[in-house]
Structure 1
Amino acid sequence: MDTPRPFAPRPEPLDEDRYGDDHDELDTELDAAAESVGRRRVKVPEPAPLTEHGPARVIAVANQKGGVGKTTSTINVGAALAEYGRKVLLVDFDPQGALSVGLGVQAHDLDATIYNLLMERGAEIDDVILKTNVEGMDLLPSNIDLSAAEVQLVTEVGREQALGRAIKPVLDRYDIILIDCQPSLGLLTINALACADSILIPLACEFFSLRGVALLMDTIDKVQQRLNPDLKILGILATMFDPRTLHTKEVRQRVIEAFGDLVFEAVINRTVRFPETTVAGEPITTWAPGSNGAEAYRLLAREVLIR
């Protein structure tokens, strides 16, 4: 697949005297983040290799608030899971197509997207899935056409299960399917929650992000009652954390007080590396593989696998 030419130079290899092979600096940051909220870090071991693949766990990455790191987290935790030998499918379920663009796909030029899979009889999922530049990670792309699906599905029988029906043929092919949801609680997001085994909630360490959590939890509760009784919350991921500010520490503290062990150990700090990866069309695990951002997503991947 074509990858856009990066505007920023590829980062230089990290100074091993500063970071070391065991990423002492990241450990120090995570220890400090945990200590700041009165929490003790738990070490998460690397997963054992697999001898066979499937059936897939389906994880919806959702939060109705925009700009909290849903797409960034979907791309990077997916790439980290692939590094650990898992077969991963990323589903771009946002009409903005940010997930597709973030992986170097020119979404507006695609002949077939997830919209065709949902709305056209006879459409085959293998005709829509794209290989990415990350070995073991595939993409089900999207573009603005998907916005029409939300309107057209309203009159369909079983409209909440449309996505589940679409991905069912490949469940035995992958270990993890990650669905990047749009920043709303509309029919597309309900579709994702209806077919998911669990939901991963990225939450920016900002006060306004906290205000929307209750609404999201209410939606999850309704989906559990009416559509998917097996849906569970996989975890809450603190994103855009700035260890220099008291505000982000206080927000994370409140999240931990409210949700306890549901909050992941992994913390995603603010860094210029993430905007760079979007321009480059690749995950941080390949763009800056030795960076603390890459290591944070590898930690998240390990936590996802043990939960």
Structure 2
Amino acid sequence: MQVWAIANQKGGVGKTTTVVALAGLLAQQDARVLVVDLDPHASLTEYFGHDAESLDKSVYNLFQTPATPVGQLLLPTQEPGITILPASSAMASLERQTAGLTGLGLVVHKAMQSLDKEFDYVLLDSPPVLGITMINALAACELLLMPVQTEFLAIKGLLRMANTLSHLLVSRGQPLHTLVVPTMYDRRTKPSIQSLRTIRKEFGERVSNAVIPHDTQFRNASAAGQVPSRYNHLARGVQAYDLLLTQLLRQRHQIPIWEVTSPAK
């Protein structure tokens, strides 16, 4: 089982879209996929048809009672091959409730270990805030994807995330395969073109081959309650995510490692 985290400290950069798109493509290859919603906004949970306000069991239960069998918290989705560990509205108070507590950094990691034989891939949707859930995502994953919108402020957020990652990896104690994924790219605009150029300059080989375009088909797929590749497999955005997935599967061991001692640029 492979565990991938999708994280960035800036919101609105395409994290949930990346999770949904990759999960859909993996499931269409007959992989057994678990998506985990670690974001209090619960966008991933809502995408897959579950009401976060009415759920009484969610990933929140793992942090309250780490011994909870994670299998009891899983829910089906409308997409064959995709299961979800949802978020609930209770997640909004998690950071406050766990402030000052220790020993909660590996909750997700241990839960995923117990599911090793049940899924081929786990995709963790992390919130845009450095806290207990993001720390758990980074501790649990073997591959980190950092989506970044191709615009100036998003790049500033990515640089902050890079510094955060460098510090957190000291505690993790081992390196992490990491890939920056440019998103919401509009080749018609100069700011988007310049931003992509800056991202490639700052992060070099750590940037994915695929550049995810701005594509209204993502929004349409969400409204239809379908993963993008089922809604319109010919959409430009879907083709870009398919290229990203190809890199992740065929060149996984060539994806750059963010070393523990590597300074962020």
TM-score for the superposition, normalised by structure 2: 0.89
Distance in 1 (CA, whole Å) between partners of 2:45 and 2:166 is: 30
Residue 78 (structure 2) pairs with residue 133 (structure 1): yes
1:59-103 CA deviation, whole Å, 9 max, x = no partner? 110011111000011111111112223221110000110001112
Q: Is the 8 A contact 1:104 1:280 kept in 2?
A: no
Runs (5+) with no aligned partner, structure 1: 1-55
Gaps of 5+ in 2: 253-265
* 8 Å CA contact retained: 1:107, 1:143: yes
- How many angstroms apart in 2 are the aligned matches of 1:143 and 1:275? 23
1:117-158 deviation digits (Å, cap 9, x = unpaired): 221265221111112222222111002211222223334331
Aligned equivalents of 2:25, 2:66: Cα separation in 1: 35
Equivalent pair of 1:223/1:229 in contact (CA under 8 Å): no
**Matching of residue 178 in structure 1 with residue 123 in structure 2:** yes
Which of these residues, 191, 195, 205, is aligned with residue 150 of structure 2?
205
Separation of aligned partners in 1, 2:200 and 2:102? 40
Distance in 1 (alpha carbons) for counterparts of 2:29 and 2:203: 28
- Tell me, in whole angstroms, the C-alpha distance in 2 between the residues paired with 1:192 and 1:228: 15
Structure 1 equivalent of residue 249 of structure 2 = 305
Name the structure 2 match of 1:151. 96
User: Superposed, which structure 2 residues align to 1:219-234 within 5 Å?
Assistant: 219-233=164-178
Q: Check conservation: 1:238, 1:252, Cα contact below 8 A.
A: yes
Other-structure match for 2:137: 192
* Structure 1 contact 102–277 (Cα < 8 Å) conserved: no
Q: What corresponds to 2:260 in structure 1?
A: none
Distance in 1, matches of 2:117 and 2:218, equals 32
Matched, 1:245 2:185: no
Q: Does 1:71 align with 2:16?
A: yes
Q: Which residue of 2 aligns with 1:236?
A: 180
CA distance in 2, matches of 1:159, 1:302: 34
Q: Which amino acid aligns with 1:299?
A: L
Asked whether the equivalents of residues 103 and 132 of structure 1 are also in contact (C-alpha less than 8 Å), the reply is yes
Specify the alignment match of 1:9 in structure 2. none
Show the 5 A alignment for 1:46-85.
56-85=1-30
Identity across matched positions, percent: 31
- Per-residue CA deviations over 1:180-232 (Å, capped at 9, x if unaligned) read 01011122111111111121000000000111222211111122111241323
Aligned to 2:224: 280
Where 1:109 maps in the other structure, the secondary structure is: coil
Aligned residue identity for 2:99: V
Report the Cα distance in structure 2 between the residues aligned to 1:196 and 1:223, rounded to whole angstroms.
13
**Is 2:57 the counterpart of 1:103?**
no
Letter in 1 for 2:155: L
How many residues are paired up? Answer: 251
C-alpha spacing 1:140/1:260, structure 2 compared with 1 (3 Å): same
Between structure 1 and structure 2, the one with the greater Rg is: 1
Moved over 4 A (4+): none
- 1:25-77 C-alpha deviation (Å, 9 max, x unpaired): xxxxxxxxxxxxxxxxxxxxxxxxxxxxxxx2211100111110000111111
Counterparts of 2:180 and 2:105, CA distance in 1: 24
